Amino acid sequence: MLNLENPILKNGELELYLIIVKFSEIQTILSSKTVGIAGAGGLGSNCAAALVRCGLGRLIIADFDLVEEGNLNRQFYFRDQIGHTKVEALRDNLQRINPELKLTIHNLQLNTHNIPKIFAGVDVLVEAFDQADQKEMLIETALNLWPETPLVVGSGMAGFGNTLALVVKKYDKLYICGDEKEEIGPDNPPLAPRVGIVSHMQADVVLEILIKAYGLRIRLRNK
């Protein structure tokens, strides 16, 4: 076991110590940040879990749906939560990761009228809807309301294989994660691997935005 109180570190312990210190710096930055997530399905639930594991301080999550058996192949829920509201089930799961998480949930359907109140003041907003019309509505509303607030969108993650096509594209404050092509349909269902990759790409973009804002020197991909 690494003894952080011992000033003399054995071989290999220095690298581990530096990793722990760097992660502590990241947690300190994220602990004061607020991220909004619109949707608590495959993208939203998994993105939220990743952010909480990294030390995010506050989340605001909105969704109106219930957990169904068909969700369990890709969403961060469990069989005994079937029939529960997604936001309440996700709250319980996230608090098992970090009981001190500040979490605000809204069990409602988002629209142009309630989005301004629910997500006002977030540092980053994540779009995590299933339906194209909902995605379009949220993107247009958010960009009009908060043109300087980063918006991280998921587009194209259905099916399986061809994971190299899953990329991040940046258009000013808009970030699009996915291949922008493989949409959900009867012959192209959403499955855990690709949905998980895109949801974690979204979480990674959020981290990069928040960490870069503090100028923390850490190995990040070039934009």
Q: Report if residue 109 sits inside a domain.
A: yes
Q: How many domains does the chain have?
A: 1
CB 128 within 8 A of CB 202: yes
Q: Report if residue 192 sits inside a domain.
A: yes
CATH at 131: 3.40.50.720
Residue 62, strand partner residues: 38, 106
CA 95, CA 97: separation in Å to the nearest integer? Answer: 5
Q: Is the dihedral of CA 60, 196, 174, 26 positive or negative?
A: positive
Q: Report if residue 218 sits inside a domain.
A: no
In Å, the largest CA–CA distance within the chain is 61
Q: Report if residue 29 sits inside a domain.
A: no
- The tens-digit pLDDT sequence of the chain (223 residues) is 455 555 555 666 777 777 788 888 889 999 999 999 999 999 999 999 999 999 999 999 999 999 999 999 999 999 999 999 999 999 999 999 999 999 999 999 999 999 999 999 999 999 999 899 999 999 999 999 999 999 999 999 999 999 999 999 999 999 999 999 988 888 899 999 999 999 999 999 999 999 987 766 555 444 4
Q: Is the dihedral of CA 180, 218, 124, 197 positive or negative?
A: positive
Residue listed under structure tokens 């993208």: 43
Q: Report if residue 69 sits inside a domain.
A: yes
Q: Report if residue 92 sits inside a domain.
A: yes
CB 207 within 8 A of CB 30: yes
> Smallest Cα–Cα separation from 97: which of 51, 146, 133?
51
Q: Report if residue 129 sits inside a domain.
A: yes
Q: Report if residue 14 sits inside a domain.
A: no
What residues make up the domain containing 79?
Answer: 34-213
